[in-house]
Structure 1
Amino acid sequence: MPAAAGRSLWPLALLAGALPLVATLIALRLSVALGLVPDCNPFIDGCTSISRAARHGLPNILFRALLLPAAVLQALVWMACPQWLRGIGGGPERALRTLPALGIAAGVFLVLYGSFLGTEGEGYRWMRRYGIAFYFGFTCIGMLIVSDQMHRRLHGVPLQRRISRSLVTLCALLPLLGLAHLLLPLAWSGPDVKDAVENITEWWAGAIFTAFFFVLAWAWRGTRFRVRIGGGE
């Protein structure tokens, strides 16, 4: 176990996943209530994107108030992951050293996206668009590294096998979403269909990211990952 005593870190991973989820749900329900977006199931109908649901008024304010600290928490989670992975058996040191850089970059782009959400102008639209694209990309790479190492190392007991299997399944779903994003619009023409497919894949990708942090919190709790404040790991 990475540490025999100290403060448990699994609530950090839990909050890192929960805050964006809560922010998105609050923004969606408020936007529906205010008539800003249609009342539907975005995971199936693709009637709105996450960005559109949180673009205006009070939903935008609340969404950003929760999303920006979530970006910091997620960066901290990625920075803690190498120490945890070393504690359960390590892995290629080069791969582990990339996780903090990936996490910080993902957090910066998530802050960029949240900061400019709701602004107008082509430059601002560009920063929002690429902010979320790079956030998704860097987070996906981090998920693949962590999931691969967990699959190799967490196999001693049934709980650990379930944790590892859950993360590998989540990572396998992301390329499938990417293929759906590319191929489904080819089967059904029209801008409305394209927008709906993009919206649906965005919502499901966000749900997978949230589930990843939840499963990681489960793994940290199961392996008793702790930190000694002021005394090192």
Structure 2
Amino acid sequence: MAMRERGFTPLWPLPLAAALLLLVATHLALWLSIQAGHVPACVPYWEGCTSISRAARHGLGNHLFRLLVIPCALLHGATWWLAGPWLRERERGSTAARWLRVLGLFSASALAIYATFLGTDGEVYGFLRRYGVTVYFGFGFLAQLLLMRRARVLRRLAPALLTGMAALCVAMLGLGVGNVVTGALIADDALRDRIENALEWQLGLLLVGWHLLLARGWWRDRFGLRLYREGDPL
């Protein structure tokens, strides 16, 4: 094991914490809502008995979900902000790192908006919740694609790791297409809701897996902050 550098702070715990906090928040809210009788007891990944929003909309589950997800959004934002310098371009005039930050920060902000207004009533609040979910997944997906593209060009991630991340993105895209097809072709409201709910839970799990792989990549790449004091060699 390599000796830890003095003044070095690894940054791989950021995407790791963002992924695990989102995972804990959703499943803790689900468990609390089941215990309180707000949603039926089931495995939502394939039974689709409830959506993530409904599982976290009521009672103590709602309060804990928001308490965990808002800091989770901050961790997501910090991850995307730091991913820019990690993939900084050496070509003059390149804007890839800037776009990565913009997409990532929009995604993180949308997650915070979604968590803030979850459990509230009214048309405006409903719009903000829907906006939050759509932008979080959509802009986050674009940021993932951009990060993988630049990481491949700059050879910052191992090929096997990039392959795994790409496979998760393909699966996420497939779930998104499946959700659109379900809404268009299935007339039974109850069946359509169950399928869409299951796809939503599966999409969230894939998103968590992608950030876990990013954390693994940052750990292998020894990405972190190095703090220099006066007199230290540069």
Q: TM over 0.5: same fold?
A: yes
Equivalent position of 1:20 in the other structure = 22
Within 5 Å, give how 1:181-196 maps onto structure 2. Answer: 181-196=179-194
| CA 98–186 in structure 1, closer or farther in 2 if over 3 Å, else same | closer
For the residues of structure 1 that align with 2:216 and 2:56, how far apart are their CA atoms? 29
Tell me, yes or no, if the aligned pair for 2:9 and 2:224 is still in contact at 8 Å. yes
CA offsets 1:65-113 (integer angstroms, 9 cap, x no match): 00000001100100111221238x8899322211111121112111111
RMSD: 2.3
Tell me, yes or no, if the aligned pair for 2:7 and 2:228 is still in contact at 8 Å. no
CA offsets 1:149-208 (integer angstroms, 9 cap, x no match): 2334448xxx81221111111111122112211223555421112211221121111111
For the residues of structure 2 that align with 1:217 and 1:129, how far apart are their CA atoms? 28
Runs of at least 5 residues in structure 2 that lack an aligned partner in the other structure: 230-234
Compare 93-102 and 50-59 and name the one that shifted more: 93-102
Runs of at least 5 residues in structure 1 that lack an aligned partner in the other structure: none
Identity, % of aligned positions: 38
Aligned pairs, how many?
225
1:81 is aligned, of 66, 80, 83, to 83
For the residues of structure 1 that align with 2:184 and 2:136, how far apart are their CA atoms? 26
1:214 is aligned, of 203, 208, 212, to 212
For the residues of structure 2 that align with 1:209 and 1:82, how far apart are their CA atoms? 20
| CA 187–131 in structure 1, closer or farther in 2 if over 3 Å, else same | closer
State the one-letter code of the partner of 2:40.
P
| CA 81–91 in structure 1, closer or farther in 2 if over 3 Å, else same | farther
State the one-letter code of the partner of 1:136.
F
Equivalent position of 1:8 in the other structure = 10
Compare 90-99 and 4-13 and name the one that shifted more: 90-99
Tell me, yes or no, if the aligned pair for 2:7 and 2:227 is still in contact at 8 Å. no
Larger radius of gyration: 2
TM score, norm. by length of structure 1: 0.89
TM score, norm. by length of structure 2: 0.88
State the one-letter code of the partner of 2:100.
L
